[in-house]
Amino acid sequence: MKSQDSRMKLKYAVVFICIVALVIIEKESNIISRVSDKLIQRQMPQTPLDYNTTTTTTTTAPNGSLTFFQLLLSKLIGRKRSRSTPPDAGYTDGRKHILLLATTRTGSSFVGEFFNQHGGNMFYLFEPLWHVERLLTAGAEASNGTLLAEMYRDVLRRLLLCDFTLLERFISPPPEDHVTPALFRRESSLSLCEEHVCSPVIKDVFERYHCKTRRCGPLNLTLATKSCLSKPHRAIKTVRVRQLDSLQPLVEDPRLDVRVIQLVRDPRAILASRMVAFSSKYQTWKAWARGGAVPEDDEEVKRLKGNCDNIRMSAEVGLSRPRWLSSRYMLVRYEDIARYPMQKAEQMYRFAGIPFSPRAREWILRNTQTTQGASGIYSTQKNSSEQAEKWRFRIPFTLARVVQKVCGPTMKLFGYRFVDDEKTLTNKSVSLLEDRLFH
């Protein structure tokens, strides 16, 4: 009986010692934090993994059970992780990665500026996939949609990780020693126009953060990589990703914290804008606009239908909220942004998990209320609410009716109202936009 009492007392003593040890160690949290960080780093694999899927390696006692110190240390490391690591964060250190997906003439250059103008914490790239499309569609790969989609995804992944080496393979002429003067629309990225990235060959007086007033020399992609790595958030705007589901491996990459924003616009407005911006490619549509029936079996009409179907199918994937896109997809209509630019920008920033910077707020205010005429097809200075309605006076009803017929399912999904005659089309008091929440 006495020996049983002695064993019980010994157990209680061990438990008491454990509790005291935990209390003492908790009071020395700073020291413990540093020690546990080092231990985690030693056990961390070379390829970053998500905290939720990474297990800590521990050594067991000869009999297969954990020693008291190992149990204690494991508990402390677990506490540190639960305090400092939000769920689903992986090893991204709070970095956010934004993909703005759109098609041409949806206002994506304008919306992309919401992030480009964020300030020093944002690394923004404008249409880097232009180089990939230009090279691959020039050869036999043009007919291989799967190859294009995979290459787009791989290049985007590398760029979000601040690796420009894969993109270099598509730039023509090829960069020499990672230096190129040929990066598409380089001036549209403030990050690529900052003083420490610009080549010192040409130095002009410039207004801070307005790239067009600085004439940079050839871009050093090594410096661009350093600049990218120094910034906590990265955003890429592209009109070349056809289907959202092709990005699943990228979104699931534990090294990234990707948020996808899909920008859509009324297909009738897109056609009207393209007929102006890309006049030489839309001669057939312009001829139809001058009069005559539109043959629905024409290749141009089929191409329009294909574009609308791609946009709709991509959005349907996002709006179905598959597990891999949980809390990572947002659909936004250009017309809503045009009407409420500040409110929608705040929503996009909130969705991305990034503070809405005063600099971005000021840019939006300055560039959505301008009374001056916009210049250039990629201009981002406009009265946004008026801009969203201009197309209604540029496209004849005959073409609007064709768009409604071949793009009907897409228009219904996004809440765009149909018109039955020319008078309704040009009557601005009649809204062509249904109130919708895409959540």
Structure token pair of residue 156 = 């985007």
Question: With 50 as the cut, is the pLDDT of residue 212 above it?
Answer: no
- Residue 44 to residues 47, 50, 339, 417, Cα–Cα distance (Å): 8, 10, 48, 54
Which residues, 6 or more positions from 32, have their beta carbon under 8 angstroms from its beta carbon? 25, 26, 76, 80
CA distance 408 to 410: 5
CB 334 within 8 A of CB 263: yes
More confident call, 51 vs 427? 427
Which residues, 6 or more positions from 147, have their beta carbon under 8 angstroms from its beta carbon? 136, 141
* 135 and 255 part of one domain: yes
Q: How far apart are the first and last CA of the chain?
A: 68
* 42 and 188 part of one domain: no
* 254 and 197 part of one domain: yes
Tell me: the pLDDT tens digits for 269-321? 999 999 999 999 999 999 999 987 899 899 999 999 999 999 999 999 999 99
In terms of C-beta density within 10 A (0-12 exposed, 13-18 middle, 19 or more buried), how is residue 347 classed? middle
* 212 and 324 part of one domain: yes
Structural domain contains residue 398: no
Q: How confident is the model at residue 415 (pLDDT cuts 50, 70, 90)?
A: very high
CA distance 259 to 316: 17
Question: With 50 as the cut, is the pLDDT of residue 33 above it?
Answer: no
Structural domain contains residue 301: yes
pLDDT for the residue numbered 84: 34
Look at residues 344, 359, 383 and tell me which one is the last residue of a structural domain: 383
Q: What is the CATH number of the domain that holds 119?
A: 3.40.50
pLDDT for the residue numbered 54: 32
pLDDT for the residue numbered 388: 87
Question: Residue 47 belongs to what domain range?
Answer: 2-84
Q: Structure pTM?
A: 0.75
Checking DSSP bridges between strand 219-220 and strand 179-180, what pairing results, if any? antiparallel
* 243 and 330 part of one domain: yes
Backbone φ and ψ for 272, nearest 5 degrees, come out as: -60, -40
Tell me: the pLDDT tens digits for 216-263? 788 999 999 999 999 999 999 999 999 999 999 999 999 999 999 999
Phi-psi region of 291 (alpha: psi -120 to 50; beta: other; left: phi over 0): left
Nearest to 222 by CA among 165, 182, 181: 165
- Residue 280 to residues 131, 277, 294, 301, Cα–Cα distance (Å): 22, 9, 19, 17
CA distance 34 to 41: 11
Phi-psi region of 109 (alpha: psi -120 to 50; beta: other; left: phi over 0): alpha
Number of domains present in the structure of the chain: 2
Amino acid at 409: P
